[in-house]
Structure 1
């Protein structure tokens, strides 16, 4: 919801640079969602399930190792998808528009998403791991800060007051994904998610034993 709320003013920001730029942004979103969406959504879901089940078995170390293994796989797959997107941006965009201005902006936006794919490969599986352990706040804070502070605030600051134009928007987008990835990585390695999950499991078992 936080990302969706940020998208409304973000769209207005891009519209300052013309309807072609706004159309290009949505074309690029469609391209990356179609190509990379199945990978990052699956990585988030699979990591959440694996971590939750492993913690339920009382194997916190295995949960950590399994999560890192999925992250490594997701990082590799999404980095490869990013390379394909970057190199094939012009051909992919050509499927959606033949307007020269829209096409030029859409290629740039697609390549912004392409260079962000490794960050997606970190954010989605790590956030899934945290959710599987019962930590839903850290992924939420990551999205909130990334969307409002960097994608919206940073893009506006760079694009309008500092007069970098769409280049500032591109930078703000990459910074937002970098921020999101950094927060969940820190949350995974420094947070007490394993202990929190263990205490939640213990509370549940105690409640079930009282009910019996």
Structure 2
């Protein structure tokens, strides 16, 4: 392959990747400090998996991390609220009201949310927090791929197989000892985009 063809191939791949990524968001340090929140209780990882009620297929993966602060890793996610700061795909200031708004945003007639919680050591939670904060913007359709890669790097989670499918990741996560699981169903408008979380007033 000629040098020109190699350059063209690299350029084409880079262009394709940039085209399928949502615009990066970068809230200021002041915004992040203003909303910083840590939930009471033990350090914890919470895997959110959005499941299509019609097909049973996984639609999205996200990870809430309760470490020195609580955040939601929402790779290539569509959730947005003007009062919730975001850097790349990490949402900050995840107090109970914000966590509730986030999960209810995804639950519809056509989707429900599987919520899997697992207590971990403070060191593991802090490592997970560092990994998501340092990851950067995620391309569309790579939510489970990037989340499984992050989990696989954590002590005790090395058995996680990296893959593209949210439901398969949830099944792997469920196998860890101590995981609790619940499912959130809502029966409002079937159109996910019809619910605008930015209209919800946060305290």
Q: Would the TM-score normalized by the shorter structure come out above 0.5?
A: no
Which interval holds the TM-score relative to the shorter structure? under 0.3
Give the TM-score, by structure 1 length.
Answer: 0.24
Whose strand proportion is higher, 1 or 2? 2
Structure of higher CA gyration radius? 1
Whose helix proportion is higher, 1 or 2? 1
